[in-house]
Amino acid sequence: MAIYQAFGTIRDMRLFFLTTLVMTAFAANSVLARLAMVSNSIGPSNFAMIRVGSGALVLILLVLIVHKKKPKFKLNTIISGISLVCYLIGFSFAYLVIDTGVGALILFGGVQLVMFVGALVLKEKVNIVRFFGMFLAIVGLFILVDPRIGGNNLVGMLLMFIASLGWGLYSLLGRGQKSPLSSTSGNFIVALILMIPFALFIPDKLTPNSYGLFLAIISGSITSGIGYAVWYWVLPKINIMTASVAQLTVPLIAAFGGYLFIYETLNWQFYIDKIPAFEDFTVSKNEFLWKTNVLLS
């Protein structure tokens, strides 16, 4: 009995570790994108296209090596690919004008809203604390994005909110995947096919240099391609609200990365907006091991 309980705990901690690793990868994407934009080393269209292209290449190779077969395409793959493109476009163009931490906060604040609605639609149990936490998060997000208070770029915030809708739907669709590596590979291939004409229709005026290409490739192949595959492995093992709240840690990591690598500063609106996230995350953290233990048993 004691051995079973110890084994269960090890499995739970592995899941918690992988979730933390994925959140760090998500934050790294924000830092890499913003760093590429502020350094004028690559434009947003090229960054998004090279990012998804390098991710697709790495994932195809991994599927061929691990599964010994080609990625499969289903209706869900097409919808996920479209969602991924919405996220990539909004994400890349938004980071032309907004800071790393603020962008990540708008992105994952919007994601939490999408996944909260998804949990209700799928009739997942949502307690009163979650409703209250969602209300506080919306209030905090309003404080951050209100131009009269925060002074952030309205177009950039709107683009990032569009990105959040795409990523929120992408995460919801990932819960039903039985083969995360193959599914993510197919999603990236579809997204690449859609991104190529977009990049040709709205080309960048800036010619990318080697530094910009490097940032886009790292973002696509490692923090996106592999990171998203791991996320699709984690998603079926946790409920929607836990997945939603876990992503609220990303803006804090991203903001620290922005401060460390891009020398960005944080205003008081950012800290106010993160208070609801801390409260909601605390509740989620206390429930995390119990929920994952039930799902893995």
Residue 91: pLDDT over 90:
yes
With cut-offs at 50, 70 and 90, classify the pLDDT of residue 4: very low
H runs (alpha helix) in the chain? 2-38, 44-66, 75-94, 100-121, 128-145, 154-173, 180-201, 210-218, 227-234, 240-246, 250-261, 268-296
157 Cβ contact list (under 8 Å, min separation 6): 94, 98, 106, 145
What's the pLDDT at 270? Answer: 54
This prediction's pTM = 0.84
Burial of 1 (0-12, 13-18, 19+ CB in 10 A): exposed
Residue type, position 182, single letter? S
* Residue 59: closest CA among 235, 221, 191, 232: 221
Q: Higher confidence at residue 278 or residue 168?
A: 168
- Give the integer Cα–Cα distance in Å for 105 and 100: 9
What is the rounded distance in angstroms from the CA atom of residue 60 to the CA atom of residue 278? 38
Place of tokens 């990236």: 188
Q: Apex CA 194: angle with CA 47 and CA 248, to 5°?
A: 60
CA distance 180 to 196: 24
CA distance 92 to 43: 8
Confidence of residue 176 (pLDDT cuts 50, 70, 90): confident
The whole-angstrom separation of Cα 240 and Cα 259 is: 31
The stretches of 67-127 forming alpha helices (DSSP H) are 75-94, 100-121
Q: How many CB atoms lie within 10 A of CB 124?
A: 15
**What is the model's pLDDT at position 151?**
65
Q: Which two tokens stand for residue 143?
A: 């404080």
Q: With H, G, I as helix, E, B as strand and everything else as coil, classify residue 256.
A: helix
Residue 297 has pLDDT above 50, yes or no: no
Average pLDDT, the chain: 82
Give me the phi and psi of 70, to 5 degrees please.
-80, 155
The answer to whether the beta carbons of residues 111 and 171 sit under 8 Å apart is yes
Q: State the pLDDT at residue 143.
A: 63
**pLDDT of 146:** 60
